[in-house]
Amino acid sequence: MRLKDKVAIVTGGSRDIGRAVSIQLARQGAKVVVNYNSNIENANETLQQIKKDGGEAIIVKGDVTKSADIAQLIAESHKAFGNKIDILVNVAGGMVARKATAELDEAFWDQVMDLNLKSVFLVSKATIPSMESGGSIINLSSLAGRDGGGPGASAYATAKGGVMTYTRALAKELGPKNIRVNAVLPGMIATTFHDTFSKPEARVNVANATLLKREGTAEEVADLVVYLASSESSYLTGTNIDINGGLNFS
């Protein structure tokens, strides 16, 4: 168990990639704080799967665009598992809607930036004081952050590009403390995100364009996150790692 007795916070941990990450971290011995925003049923399903596997976890409701909610998230982690946090996985995010630039207004732009970029900053800032040498922060960016995304995804892609840059900057800042910061950039992963925002024919075309001729799975992304959280990746920091079946090599 590579993460035995480590404490991990996963934002957006109740479904899809966040759920897979939470479950995989727990299977590797971590005590997991599963953050969710609104759907307690999904959060409880994640919690029950972790417990079924013999793991330890709690669920904590909170909007990670709000400092007060984040402070409560950290407090609940300390209450359940002690004052040290070893791993932070910033998964929370979303496209909200596909909108061309002509359709964008300031409120929508700010909403997408807050959800995908500001949240990473706020949760990281709140967590770092509880991290010691050997800590690991893993941010979820996206292939969209490299290539600008698909139609109507300019705000989302820009925010995810910001996550990539913030990952590099934070890695430089925290490196002397031996806290590593990396980002994972999924391509087409079979999740409810694409069920909502991608047309079936577009998904087929993208899957066929990958070298492996398929979509990825949330579990495959979670395996990469676990690697980055573990000591096996102890000389990796400041990286933005693609996981897209060979669709993009950048």
Q: pLDDT, tens digit, for every residue of 34-81?
A: 999 999 999 999 999 999 999 999 999 999 999 999 999 999 999 999
Residue with tokens 């400041």: 238
Task: Supply the DSSP symbol for 5.
Answer: T
**pLDDT tens figures, 12-35:** 999 999 999 999 999 999 999 999
Strand-pair partners of 140: 184
Average model confidence (pLDDT) across the chain: 96
- Count CA atoms within 13 Å of residue 124 on its CB side: 29
Q: Work out the number of other CB atoms within 10 angstroms of the CB of residue 48.
A: 11
83-118 as b/e: b if 16+ CB within 10 A:
eebbbbbbbbbbbebbbeeeeeeeeebebbbbbbbb
Question: What token pair was written down for 70?
Answer: 């984040």
**pLDDT tens figures, 134-188:** 999 999 999 999 999 999 999 999 999 999 999 999 999 999 999 999 999 999 9
Question: What token pair was written down for 90?
Answer: 């910033």
Rounded to an integer, what distance in angstroms lies between the CA atom of residue 193 and that of residue 24?
A: 20
Which of 36, 156, 166, 235 is an active site residue? 156
Phi and psi (nearest 5°) for 19? -65, -45
CB within 8 Å of 133: residues ≥ 6 apart: 177, 178, 179
CATH architecture observed for domain 7-243? 3-Layer(aba) Sandwich (3.40)
Mean pLDDT of 202-211: 90
| 228: enclosing H helix or E strand | helix 218-229
pLDDT at 239 over 80: yes
pLDDT at 195 over 80: no
Give alpha helix (H) positions in 11-56. 16-27, 40-52
For residue 29, the model assigns a pLDDT of 98
Task: Check if 227 is active-site.
Answer: no
250: confidence class by pLDDT, cuts 50, 70, 90: low
